[in-house]
Structure 1
C-alpha cells in the first residue's frame, strides 16, 4: 500500500477518534479514488511518453478515432468526453495539431464550428498505441475475477448516478 495513503488514513483515524460520527470509511474511500486516479495517470503517462503522448492526448486521439466513421469530433464534445475545460481542450488540440496528429477543419454541418480530424499520422499512432494500452489494462486487472470486475463496474456506476443526483439537487 502506498505510504502516503497510509499516512493519510492514519490521520483520518486520529480525526475520527476525536470527532464521533465521522463517516470514516467513506472519507477513506473518497480519498482512495484520488490516489488510484493519480497512480493510474502516472502509470499510463509513463507508458505513453515514449510515443510523445500523455493520458489526455491519448484519450483525445482515441475519442476522435471512435467518434464516427470520418474520425471527426467537435472540440466541445471532446471536452465533455475528457471532462476538460474549453481552455484545456484548446491547449491539447493545439499540441496535437502541432504534432501532426490532428487537423482542424470547418464543420460540414455548420461552418461556424470546427471539427477535429485524425491525420494519417494520428491514426497510425493511435492504432499502434491501443494494443499496448490494452495489454497494460489486462495486466492491471489481472488480480480481479470477471465477477469482481462486473461488481465493481456496477458499484461505480451506482456511485456516479448518486453523485449526479446530488449535483442536480444542489
Structure 2
C-alpha cells in the first residue's frame, strides 16, 4: 500500500466513521422512541441500569460523557416520565443519586433488547476478527482523544 493510498483510505475511513455514527444514533433514537424515550435521555437511562442503584449524578454524567447541567435536564425529563427517582445521596447530602423506578427498569430492558437485536442484525455477517479490528480502530481514536484532552493549550500559559 502506498502512502497516498493509505492516506486516502484513512481519510475515507474517518469520513465513514462520522457517517456511521450518525446512522447508528438515528437507529438507536428510533429504538428508544418506540418506548417513549428520547435518544438523549436513553443514554442516562441505560447507564443507570449498568452502574446500579443510587448512581451519583456526577458519576452518571461522566459515564454518559456529558456536562452535569445537561444531565440535570435529562434527569428532569426521565423523572417527569416516571422512569427515575432522584434523591439526596445518603453519604453526601450535597450530591444527588439517581435510581430506576420499576417502570424505568421495564423501559430500559425493552430499549436494551431492541438495541441488542439491532446490533445482531447489523453485524450478523461480521466474524470475531472483524469485530476485534473495528474495536482496535475505535480504541486508537479514544486513546488519541484522551491525549488531546490532556495536552496543554500551547497558546495558554499555565504559569499565571
- The two structures share one fold, judged by TM-score above 0.5: yes
Query: Cα 1:129–1:167, aligned 2, differ >3 Å: closer, same or farther?
Result: closer
CA distance in 2, matches of 1:166, 1:59: 25
Secondary structure of residue in 2 paired with 1:113: strand
From 35, 45, 69, the equivalent of 2:29 is 45
From 82, 100, 103, the equivalent of 2:85 is 103
From 26, 34, 44, the equivalent of 2:18 is 34
CA distance in 2, matches of 1:144, 1:35: 19
1:95 Cα shift? 0.2
1:92-128, Cα deviation, whole Å (9 max, x unpaired): 1100000000111010110111001111111121123
CA distance in 1, matches of 2:67, 2:104: 23
Secondary structure of residue in 2 paired with 1:114: strand
Secondary structure of residue in 2 paired with 1:105: strand
Which residue number corresponds to residue 147 of structure 1? 129
Which one has more relative contact order, counting CA pairs under 8 Å at least 6 apart?
Answer: 2
Q: Structure 1 runs of 4+ off > 3 angstroms?
A: 23-28
Q: How does 1:69-88 map to 2 (within 5 A)?
A: 71-88=53-70
Which residue number corresponds to residue 98 of structure 2? 116
Say if 2:112 is the partner of 1:125: no
Show structure 1 runs of 5+ residues with no match: 1-19
Q: What's the TM-score, normalizing by structure 1?
A: 0.78
Which residue number corresponds to residue 117 of structure 2? 135
Secondary structure of residue in 1 paired with 2:34: helix
Contact kept? 2:33, 2:39, Cα under 8 Å = no
The structure in which a higher percent of residues are helix is 1
1:24 Cα shift? 4.3
CA distance in 2, matches of 1:29, 1:99: 39
From 45, 49, 71, the equivalent of 1:61 is 45
CA distance in 2, matches of 1:30, 1:151: 15
